């Protein structure tokens, strides 16, 4: 049975119970009120003859006729003979006995002997008694009608409640069913399905919010897993592609070293080449592992780093190591960013290392760091040969070498630009390349800026 049906049945049952309970109370109250009114009428007739036994009968008859009371007046003699003095529309069908008379001398009574009537008696002298009786048939008929009306009202209330409950519950459950369908589609692999609009009560909206957060977390986890898988595939592809050449060179020189006829000089050159290729492989593997680490989801990017101090220290070392270069340093103090210090050190180190490797020893260099709105801008410029015009922009390809004249032996692995670009993205920013006013390459890093107290 569906939840909507169960809730509707529950509400209808509660409504019916309450309606019948209220109706029963109304019927009971009405019945007691009508019986009390009848008892008061009988008592008024009895009181008219109290204390005057001789005139009691005439007084009672006068009161009944004067007020048009629908009451039976019977006179019961000591011999149990009964004389009916007043016969109403609903008269006694059975004659009262002396036992009935004696039982009702002090209060209004009802008995099985005179069923359907309430009665009371009074002594009227000469051994005779006057019995005043009133029929309860009209009261019973009125109660039956009231009970029927109460039952009908309860039925109507139950129907109305069923309709109202169905409308409101259906509206609520429609939103819940949409959320269930949404969750089912997500569970079926459609992680990009649109979240149903917010509707219904606050509970349903809270359910939608919680489900939305859960699905967003699931989507992020799926994206992270996909990115990790793609990163691993790219890592394996990059490594296998780039390591093939040095391994081939090492294999070739190893076979040459196995030849006993080569001379000492050739033997030394072969060993030197093997050592050089091993060093390149070690550097390449280190770069690839660092790229894989940068591509992983951030785990500790919450360290506040004074980038001005990091850059100033590196710039001083660069000036010391490049005494023949004209170096212009323009670093705004106390510029902070949030990130991993080792990532920032690697970014700055790669940028300055590329300048040292790919420009002449007398090429001009400009290093600057400034606040720009909510971000910071870190710029490295050199007076070297720069890049081909088509190479400028963002997101350089891995293993891309822009100087075609350089061989693998004299050049780098081609990962320098990729490392810097990936580090910038991991820190929440971006890297772009353009031609410098100095004539060479301009590297621009735009990163989120943080305040010292954050």
| 232-288 pLDDT per residue, tens | 676 677 667 667 777 787 888 788 788 887 888 888 888 888 888 888 777 777 777
The architecture in CATH of the region 3-140 reads 2-Layer Sandwich (3.30)
Give the sign of the dihedral formed by CA 387, CA 390, CA 396, CA 399: negative
Token reading at 211: 């489900």
Does the structure show a pLDDT above 60 at 388? yes
Read off the pLDDT of residues 182-194 as tens digits, 9 standing for 90 and up.
777 776 666 666 7
User: What is the location of CATH 3.30.565.10 in the chain?
Assistant: 299-454
Does the structure show a pLDDT above 60 at 405? no
Angle at which helices 264-295 and 416-426 cross, to 10°: 20
User: What is the location of CATH 1.10.287.130 in the chain?
Assistant: 201-297
Q: Which residue has the higher pLDDT, 429 or 166?
A: 429
- Report d(CA 343, CA 291) in Å as an integer: 11
Please state which CATH number belongs to domain 201-297: 1.10.287.130
Read off the pLDDT of residues 43-86 as tens digits, 9 standing for 90 and up.
999 998 888 888 888 988 889 888 998 899 999 998 888 888 88
pLDDT score at 191? 60
- Report d(CA 286, CA 391) in Å as an integer: 25
Does the structure show a pLDDT above 60 at 197? yes
What is the number of other CB atoms lying within 10 angstroms of the CB of residue 192? 10
- Residue 448 banded pLDDT, cuts 50, 70, 90: very high
Q: Are strands 441-448 and 375-382 parallel, antiparallel or unpaired?
A: antiparallel
Taking the complete model, does pTM exceed 0.75, yes or no? no
In this prediction, residues 355-379 reach a mean pLDDT of 92
CATH class of the domain at 299-454: alpha beta
pLDDT score at 40? 93
């Amino acid at each position: 049975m569906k939840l909507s049906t169960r809730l509707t049945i529950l509400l209808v049952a509660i409504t019916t119970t309450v309606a019948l309970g209220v109706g029963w109370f109304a019927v009971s109250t009405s019945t007691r009120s009508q019986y009390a009114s009848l008892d008061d009428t009988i008592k008024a007739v009895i009181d008219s003859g109290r204390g005057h036994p001789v005139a009691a009968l005439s007084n009672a008859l006068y009161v009944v006729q004067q007020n048009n009371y629908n009451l039976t007046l019977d006179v019961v003699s000591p011999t149990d003979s009964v004389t009916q003095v007043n016969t109403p529309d609903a008269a006694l069908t059975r004659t009262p006995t002396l036992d009935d008379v004696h039982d009702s001398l002090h209060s209004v009574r009802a008995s099985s002997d005179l069923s359907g009537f309430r009665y009371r008696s009074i002594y009227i002298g000469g051994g005779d008694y006057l019995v005043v009786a009133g029929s309860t048939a009209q009261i019973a008929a009125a109660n039956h009608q009231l009970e029927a009306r109460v039952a009908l009202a309860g039925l109507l209330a139950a129907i109305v409640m069923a309709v109202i409950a169905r409308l409101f519950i259906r509206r609520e459950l429609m939103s819940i069913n949409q959320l269930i369908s949404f969750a089912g589609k997500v569970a079926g692999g459609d992680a990009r399905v649109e979240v149903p609009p917010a509707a219904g009560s606050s509970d349903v909206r809270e359910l939608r919010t919680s489900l939305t957060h859960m699905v967003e977390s699931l989507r992020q986890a799926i994206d992270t897993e996909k990115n990790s898988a793609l990163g691993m595939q790219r890592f394996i592809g990059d490594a296998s592609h780039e390591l093939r050449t040095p391994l081939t060179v090492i294999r070739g020189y190893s076979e040459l070293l196995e030849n006993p006829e080569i001379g000492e000089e050739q033997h030394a050159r072969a060993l030197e080449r093997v050592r050089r290729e091993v060093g390149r492989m070690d550097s390449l593997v280190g770069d690839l592992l660092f790229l894989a680490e940068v591509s992983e989801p951030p785990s500790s990017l919450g360290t506040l780093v004074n980038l001005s101090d990091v850059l100033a220290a590196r710039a001083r070392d660069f000036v010391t190591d490049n005494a023949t270069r004209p170096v212009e340093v323009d670093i705004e103090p106390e510029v902070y960013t949030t990130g991993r210090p080792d990532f920032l050190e690697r970014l700055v180190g790669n940028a300055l290392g590329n300048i040292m490797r790919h420009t002449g020893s007398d090429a001009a260099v400009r290093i600057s760091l400034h606040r720009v709105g909510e971000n910071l801008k870190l710029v490295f410029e050199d007076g070297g040969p720069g890049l081909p015009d088509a190479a400028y922009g963002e997101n350089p390809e891995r293993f891309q070498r822009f100087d075609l004249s350089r061989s693998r032996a004299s050049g780098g692995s081609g990962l320098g630009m990729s490392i810097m670009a990936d580090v910038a993205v991991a820190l929440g920013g971006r890297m772009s390349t353009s031609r410098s006013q100095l004539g060479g390459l301009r590297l621009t890093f735009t990163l989120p800026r943080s305040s010292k107290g954050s």
